[in-house]
Amino acid sequence: MLQRKPIIDFGIIGLGRFGYALASKLAQANKEVLVLDSSEIKIKQIRNLTDNAFVVDSLNRETLEQAGIKNCGTVIVCIGENIEASILTTLNVIELGVPRVIAKAMSFEHGKVLEKIGAEVIYPEFDMAMRLAERLISSKVLEFIMLSNDMTISEV
């Protein structure tokens, strides 16, 4: 069976600080980005970077499908505060057959649920805190990549 080639590189659902920064960076890197949010103001702000920005009242499966989210190669669900909306939106995106779904989690319990339904999970605040702690502990380190709990690559 032939796999379909995604038309759009990335889909971003939710334009809080994290989602907006992510969408901006991807668009500035000349990636095709589809953005969905319920705020008309936020959508107007991102439209200078992508034409594929739409206001949606609901994030149910039908609305996501009509917006074209299933045409994305990777979708990042950036809903943090409303855990129920985050989980249901992630589930709908997965069920639409998007090849890679990444979801932002606000707690480890939230992340466990997202993992169980098939999403890759990120913890932006936790991850950034760990990076900052490493920089503070090792002031001579410019950048580092954590390969495992016991191994890192550092630029000094």
Give me the pLDDT at residue 152, please. Answer: 65
- 108 lies in the same domain as 132: no
Give the residue, 142 or 41, on which the prediction is more confident: 41
State the pTM of this model. Answer: 0.82
> Of all residues in the chain, what percent carry a pLDDT higher than 70?
85
- 80 lies in the same domain as 146: no
Q: Lowest mean pLDDT of 24-28, 117-121, 149-153, name the range.
A: 149-153
- 99 lies in the same domain as 139: no
CA angle 16–90–116, rounded 5-degree value: 125
- Residue 150 confidence class, pLDDT cut points 50, 70, 90: low
Q: What are phi and psi of 103, to 5 degrees?
A: -130, 140
Say if 2 falls within a structural domain: no
- 146 lies in the same domain as 117: no
CB contact at 8 A, 33 and 8: yes
Total structural domains within the chain: 2
- 54 lies in the same domain as 107: yes
The three-class DSSP label of residue 131 is: helix
Residue 87 structural domain: 8-122
Average pLDDT over residues 138-147: 64
Using the predicted structure, report yes or no on whether residue 125 has a pLDDT greater than 90. Answer: no
Structure tokens at 154: 């550092």
Beta bridge partners of 155: 143
C-alpha count within 13 angstroms, C-beta hemisphere, residue 90? 30
Average pLDDT value for the chain:
88
Task: For strands 100-104 and 72-77, give the pairing.
Answer: parallel
Q: For the domain that residue 92 is a member of, what is the CATH number? A: 3.40.50.720
Average pLDDT over residues 126-133: 78
- Residue 99 confidence class, pLDDT cut points 50, 70, 90: very high
pLDDT digits (tens, 9 = 90+) for 44-62: 999 999 989 999 988 999 9
- 74 lies in the same domain as 135: no
Using the predicted structure, report yes or no on whether residue 142 has a pLDDT greater than 80. Answer: no
- 92 lies in the same domain as 141: no
- 22 lies in the same domain as 79: yes
Pick from 62, 24, 28, 79: nearest CA to 46: 24
Pick from 47, 21, 44: nearest CA to 34: 47
Give me the pLDDT at residue 151, please. Answer: 65
Burial of 109 (0-12, 13-18, 19+ CB in 10 A): exposed
